[in-house]
Amino acid sequence: MWTPYTTPRTSAIQCVCGADAVEEYTGEWVQCWGDACCGYWFHTTCVDMPSSLRLRPIFQCPSCCTSPTSSPLHPPQSIKRLFDCCQTNSWRLFHSLSSSSTAVDLTSFLAYQPPLLGGCNGLVVAAQVGALAILQDMLHMFSPNQVQSSVNLLHQTPLHVAILNGHLHCVPVLTQMQPRWHHVADVYSALPLDYLLQIRPAEVLPLLQDKPDLVHVTNPSTGNSIAHAICAIVPPDFASLLAVIPVSQLCSVNHHGQTPAMTLIQSPHVLRHHFELLVQQLASSPDWWTCVDDQGRSVLHFALMYKHPWALEVADLSRFRHFQLLHLAAECALPSAVALLVAAKFSPQQLHGTSRCSGATLGTGWWPILHATSPGCVLELLRVDTGAQLQYLYHQSQAHSTKVLSILNSIASHLPLYDFIQATAAANPHEYLGSRCLFLQRYRKCLRLDLKLTQLKLHVASLIVVPSRAKRVITVPSERDLWKVLQSAAISTWKCPIQVEIAGELHSSKDAHMWTVLASQLRQLGPHLFASSSQVFELLGKLIGHMVLVGQQLPSAVLPPSFLSTPAEFKPDLALDFKKGLDSVLPNALDNWNGYERFLLLHRVIFPQTMSQWKATKVHYDKPFHAHHPSMLAFWTVIEKHLVPQEQLVCRLRCGQPLRITPAPTVGIVEKSVLGIPEAISMDRLHVDLVLYIRGFRKHAKHT
């Protein structure tokens, strides 16, 4: 059994190659160990340790070995031995073997590739371990043509390999050995300079200053110049690197027709000042702005696609008048970009696909507003040519209903856009609330109730017929017979005031008295009213339509909101007959009105308590709500300051009296006279949800 030696051993290095320090050697070591041995350390590569171990389990150096069969001091000169020197950076032995008069064929050495090392020859391996001294020897041993094909399985040259392994001290000698390596792309289409920019960007500028010809290097695989590489990576010394790149390279295009500016915009590291630096460098050659790639995209197209609207502030937008930038900005949901383009006089009426830019393909043929994917973009587009765009949306509502519905949802749910529509319509009611604006006629649900009332007045004014000279008077024996007589009266037209003689007194339908009497009789009928025939309700619809036409209201509640809503929740069959009669007098005038809005239009609603009294005495809170809870403060702020009086009335009608407010996931009625509100909700969100609820977009709170 083997036992440890007791003789102390030294830790000195005294290799047979002459090395007395670690230096850059990367291979294994072996120590002379045995009875009365020196204990020096040797490079395994230099002493051929594998064969030594086959002869004896303990290594002894030649000076300590007494056996006549010991292995030779120097291993045999062979291609494999040279390769091992490259792999372990045993440069002294490599120099000795390669300069020996009995050296092997060095050309065969470059062709030697061990099967387990990824197709690497000795030159590639030397670059991989950073064997600078060996590479310097190879510089004098081989010509550039001999080393040209030295690559690994990834088609990476020694220059690639040295950079990827961090051996930048080898770059100058490798560049001198074969300058063309800077032009070779690996299987990832990357040049050595691409990797250098990624790993050690600070080393690129000194290299370019030392080798000015490198600024003209072009990637044969992608067509990218060094300017493209710098713009793709955006190193810290970006400005200094741009300063040494000629303008011709900054304007160059790759195989896809893309300029360095397009590459810069696509970089995840780009900031506005990087783009401004590039623009400054290219000030003498402004034509690059309008260069397009093989898909017809300019640098500003890429800026919009990659969400960099600030690029539009740097650019001269007058050069891009015929590009589809406004469509793209709207499609990319960039309101700030849309605002810039609209301010630069880009037309929101331009059809997509009519651009004259080179390479443009057939587009959708839409205006930009149909490309908009966010409420903010719709708002910025509608700030100009508002009427024309609303008309366009109306005419496109059949062919592109999904797009128009999305815009309608944006108007309903985005407060700035909703407020803009209301302010625009209120500022010019004849333009937007009259018959010319078909969009707001059809989609009047986008309007506040006060604007709906204004729109209705304009519509009614166009329907009133001037009465003939021979006025027909309907005679009613007494007030209690009014409803009975009206049911049997043959009224030829409902679009001019009706003259009624009640108990000898002449009244016009424009007077409130007739409707006060009628409301009293209808209320006396109570539930029997809704047992009447369909003909009676069709007549009632005509009568109520006439009442609206002459600007009157019923002084007391007769027709409940559930009957007036569409679709009706109460007596739906009779409601259809009622609507048929109403439409014969006011055709489609009350479409997109909800039941509570129609109730408010047809009835004179007067609450016994003021808003403050209702709030103080009729509203109760479920825990954790209380009068000073943040959500309740926001709720009352919206009710009292952000709703017009007509909407406040609708809110009180919908909520009921008394009212109980309870926590719920969304705003809406949880059960009768119980309103649900989220515990934590912002003022804007509550405003939107409450308006949606009041206008009938939401009827009930959602349950979790």
The answer to whether residue 272 scores a pLDDT higher than 90 is yes
Q: Give the Cβ contact number of residue 58 at 10 Å.
A: 15
What are the residues facing 620 on neighbouring strands?
Answer: 660
Nearest residue to 161 (alpha-carbon basis) of 178, 186, 144: 186
The answer to whether residue 53 scores a pLDDT higher than 60 is no
* C-alpha to C-alpha distance for 554 and 537, rounded to whole angstroms: 16
* pLDDT (average), residues 623-641: 92
Q: Is 494 or 28 the better-scoring residue by pLDDT? A: 494
Would you list the domain boundaries of the chain? Answer: 385-461, 473-602, 611-694
* C-alpha to C-alpha distance for 277 and 387, rounded to whole angstroms: 42
* pLDDT (average), residues 133-147: 91
Tokens at 1, concatenated: 């059994």
Q: Answer whether 297's CB lies under 8 Å from 320's CB.
A: no
Q: Is 486 or 103 the better-scoring residue by pLDDT? A: 486
Q: Answer whether 646's CB lies under 8 Å from 450's CB.
A: yes
Which CATH class name applies to 611-694? alpha beta
- What's the pLDDT score for residue 74? 44
DSSP 292-353: --TTS--HHHHHHHTT-THHHHHS-GGGGTTSSHHHHHHHTT-HHHHHHHHHTT--TTPPTT
Q: How confident is the model over 338-373, as pLDDT tens digits?
A: 999 999 999 999 998 855 444 444 688 999 999 999
Tokens at 140, concatenated: 């004098």
Lowest mean pLDDT among 100-114, 373-387, 481-495, 535-549: 100-114
> Per the confidence metrics, is the pTM higher than 0.85?
no
- What's the pLDDT score for residue 360? 44
- What's the pLDDT score for residue 34? 59
The answer to whether residue 259 scores a pLDDT higher than 80 is yes
The phi and psi torsions of 317 (rounded to 5 degrees) equal -65, -20
* pLDDT (average), residues 142-156: 93
DSSP assigned state of 622 = -
* pLDDT (average), residues 44-73: 57
Lowest mean pLDDT among 90-94, 458-462, 482-486, 512-516: 90-94
* C-alpha to C-alpha distance for 425 and 438, rounded to whole angstroms: 13
- What's the pLDDT score for residue 7? 46
DSSP assigned state of 642 = I
Q: How confident is the model over 555-606, as pLDDT tens digits?
A: 999 999 999 998 999 999 999 999 999 999 999 899 989 999 999 999 999 8
* C-alpha to C-alpha distance for 414 and 660, rounded to whole angstroms: 28
The answer to whether residue 1 scores a pLDDT higher than 60 is no
- What's the pLDDT score for residue 70? 42
* C-alpha to C-alpha distance for 170 and 182, rounded to whole angstroms: 14
Q: How confident is the model over 175-207, as pLDDT tens digits?
A: 999 999 999 999 999 999 999 999 999 999 999
DSSP assigned state of 568 = -
DSSP assigned state of 640 = I
Nearest residue to 181 (alpha-carbon basis) of 122, 98, 124, 252: 124
* pLDDT (average), residues 106-132: 86
Write the CB contacts of 48 (distance below 8 Å, at least 6 apart in sequence). Answer: 71, 72, 75, 76
Write the CB contacts of 432 (distance below 8 Å, at least 6 apart in sequence). Answer: 386, 387, 390, 424, 425, 440
Q: Is 124 or 8 the better-scoring residue by pLDDT? A: 124
Q: What is the mean pLDDT of the chain?
A: 87
* C-alpha to C-alpha distance for 300 and 373, rounded to whole angstroms: 19
Nearest residue to 646 (alpha-carbon basis) of 454, 453, 451, 449: 449
- What's the pLDDT score for residue 278? 97
Helix (H) or strand (E) holding 79: helix 79-88
